[in-house]
Amino acid sequence: MADSVRTPPPRASSGTATPLGADGSLAGGDAKRTAVRSMFDAIAPRYDLVNRIMTGRLDVRWRRRAVADLRLPGGSVVVDLACGTGDFCRELDARGLRAIGMDLSMGMLAAARTDAPLAQADALDLPLPDGSVDGVTCGFALRNLVAIPPFLDEVARVVRPGGRIALVEVAEPTNPLVRFGHGVYFGRIVPLVGRLLSDADAYRYLPRSVAYLPPPDELCHMLDAAGFTDVTRTALTLGAAQLLTATRG
């Protein structure tokens, strides 16, 4: 499987940009895709450091739970989409699964710390044959996509029948008090940490990007419509994050 994935040489970051307009509006379409790629190219060198600080390493626990919930046998081929610096790939390898990482950002791939094969690819147009992998993981990327339904259709195309997927994403807690505290932290503290350690504009955008996410029920319906069964949504850490798992029908 790894031989079918072509890995281009790394290139330098193209500069900082975000899908957040000067007026605070959120971009869409091709403008969003271009801005997202440029943004992640720019923040790649300190991406892991900022993530660990912002989540108190809870992101590591969430990925570990996601891989466990795949429930795939050892040796299964799992593609991690929007793989970033390889966190999911390392966890997949530790569980005896064969990881392949794909990301739109060459900056992230250049900063990756994993032995898994890596390739630059658009998650809406994967360089993989139909039904060629046993599973897919994806962490914190749904809100950065141009559109979610085409992504789920593409995932359904490349995963074999009976294969499994596990998607981790941020969420809003349902408890009003917890939601208030989460909103203050995510909306004010996270941009501050990002400004001090990485890129102010990028970490101003990332909390705002939650607005791209549909409600949980709608996300589950999208998975149903794409051809997945056994769709399960699990709230993580008081609802600050969510795990979506499903089986390819």
214: left (phi over 0), alpha (psi -120 to 50) or beta: beta
What pTM was estimated for this model as a whole? 0.89
pLDDT at 111 (0 to 100): 95
pLDDT at 248 (0 to 100): 98
Picking from 137, 101, 107, the residue whose alpha carbon sits closest to that of residue 43 is 107
Strands 98-103 and 77-81: parallel
pLDDT at 3 (0 to 100): 39
Structural element, H or E, at residue 102: strand 98-103
3-state secondary structure of 126: coil
Task: Point out which residues pair with 110 in neighbouring strands.
Answer: none
pLDDT at 4 (0 to 100): 39
Q: What is the largest CA-CA distance in the chain?
A: 50
Q: What is the DSSP letter of 18?
A: -
pLDDT at 37 (0 to 100): 92
pLDDT at 25 (0 to 100): 64
Low-confidence ranges of the chain (pLDDT < 70): 1-16, 20-25
What domains, with CATH codes, occur in the chain? 44-175+201-248 (3.40.50.150)
Is the Cβ–Cβ distance between 81 and 155 less than 8 Å? Answer: yes
Picking from 187, 142, 133, 184, the residue whose alpha carbon sits closest to that of residue 161 is 133
Q: Note the pLDDT tens digit of each residue in 140-159.
A: 999 999 999 999 999 999 99
